């Protein structure tokens, strides 16, 4: 092939690439080829992000730190980056790294193999609109260090039984709570007044148990999600001894 033909062939190849790029048929990415598990892992991870966003809305969050803390409490979800301060002023952008469970399905519908993959998402919260980008390239950064909240799940019955045995005696109540060997991160508040003992256990903003111990026994109450919202009902032993104890909002 002479030089003229070589130049024509090269020019044709360049034109082909330009056409493919223009038509959206040519994709270049430094991301490694996707595994046969990738699509199902991405779908599984997207459902987990749905739950994260649902919780943001349910808890009426608007601060960047609260978004980070809330997202990090979900299983398989980590926050890689955060920018901004509040939803309505600067807007808040989060990049989440989510473990998605992928499954490779054979032609006959059987499971060939399965494994987990890390899938990343960009979440834009305000200042005008909320949006998300699924399955983006994960930035090369370590997850932000956020401690998991303790939990009061399964504590109610144990607490009531211990308080029934202790009776309305503050030292005995304190000793009974110690014997429960609760997570040290759970805040404990105990106070006595007029022959009664109030107890408050708080693991997180919306995870609170209040108890009142009298000569007739022990009562346990979990305030509602609405009552435990920031600026509303405090989770304190004083509330356990007040007239508010056991009342739900109308």
Long-range contacts of 43-46 (CB under 8 A, 24+ apart): 43/100, 44/100, 44/101, 44/102, 45/76, 45/98, 45/99, 45/100, 45/117, 45/119, 45/121, 45/135, 46/100, 46/119, 46/121, 46/134, 46/135
Q: Which position has the higher pLDDT, 29 or 172?
A: 172
Task: Please tell me the distance from the alpha carbon of residue 40 to that of residue 65, in angstroms, as a whole number.
Answer: 31
Task: Give a yes or no: residue 201 inside a domain.
Answer: yes
Residue 42 lies in a domain: yes
Q: Contact 101/116 with Cβ under 8 angstroms?
A: yes
Residues 98 and 182 in one domain: no
Tell whether 46 is covered by a domain: yes
The answer to whether position 149 is within a domain reads no
CA quadruple 102, 104, 109, 112: dihedral sign = negative
User: How far from each other are the two terminal CA atoms of the chain, in whole angstroms?
Assistant: 88
Would residue 150 count as lying in a domain?
A: no
Is residue 179 in a domain? yes
How far apart (Å, rounded) are the C-alpha atoms in residues 143 and 124? 18
Q: Do 166 and 218 fall within a single domain?
A: yes
**Full residue range of the structural domain in which residue 132 is found:** 32-136
Domain end residue (candidates: 101, 136, 171)? 136
In a shared domain, residues 100 and 188: no
Beta strands in the chain (DSSP E): 77-84, 92-105, 111-125, 131-136, 187-193, 196-204, 207-214, 217-221
Concatenate the DSSP letters of all residues of 53-88 into one string.
Answer: HHHHHHTT--BHHHHHHHHHTSTTEEEEEEEESBTT
In the chain, the number of structural domains is 2
- Both 210 and 167 in one domain: the answer is yes
Q: If you average pLDDT over residues 243-247, what whole number do you get? A: 94
Decide if pLDDT at 223 tops 80.
yes
Beta carbons within 8 Å of 152's beta carbon, 6+ residues apart = 186, 201, 203, 207, 208, 209
Whole-prediction pTM value?
0.79
Judge whether residue 23 has pLDDT over 60: no
Q: For 25-29, 132-136, 140-144, 209-213, which range has the lowest pLDDT when averaged over its residues?
A: 25-29
Is 1 inside a domain boundary? no
- Residue 228 located in a structural domain: yes
pLDDT computed for residue 36 by the predictor:
80
């Amino acid at each position: 092939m002479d030089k003229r033909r070589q130049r024509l062939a090269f020019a044709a190849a360049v034109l082909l690439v330009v056409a493919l790029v223009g038509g959206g048929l040519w994709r270049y990415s430094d991301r490694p080829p996707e595994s046969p598990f990738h699509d199902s892992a991405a779908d599984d991870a997207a459902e987990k992000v749905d739950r994260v966003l649902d919780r943001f809305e349910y808890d009426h969050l608007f601060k960047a730190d609260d978004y980070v803390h809330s997202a990090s409490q979900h299983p398989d979800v980590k926050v890689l980056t955060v920018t901004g301060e509040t939803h309505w002023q600067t807007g808040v952008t989060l990049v989440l790294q989510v473990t998605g469970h992928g499954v490779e399905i054979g032609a006959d519908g059987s499971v060939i193999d399965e494994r987990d993959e890390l899938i990343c998402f960009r979440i834009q919260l305000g200042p005008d609109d909320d949006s998300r980008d699924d399955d983006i390239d994960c930035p090369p950064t370590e997850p932000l260090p956020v401690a998991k909240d303790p939990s009061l799940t399964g504590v109610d019955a144990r607490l009531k039984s211990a308080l029934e045995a202790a009776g309305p005696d503050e030292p005995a109540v304190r000793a009974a709570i110690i014997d429960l060997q609760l997570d040290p991160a759970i805040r404990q508040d105990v106070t006595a007044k007029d022959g009664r003992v109030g107890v408050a256990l708080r693991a997180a903003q919306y995870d609170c148990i209040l108890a009142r111990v009298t000569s007739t026994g022990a009562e346990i109450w979990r305030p509602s999600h609405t009552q435990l919202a920031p600026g509303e009902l405090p989770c304190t032993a004083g509330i356990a001894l007040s007239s508010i104890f056991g009342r739900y909002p109308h």
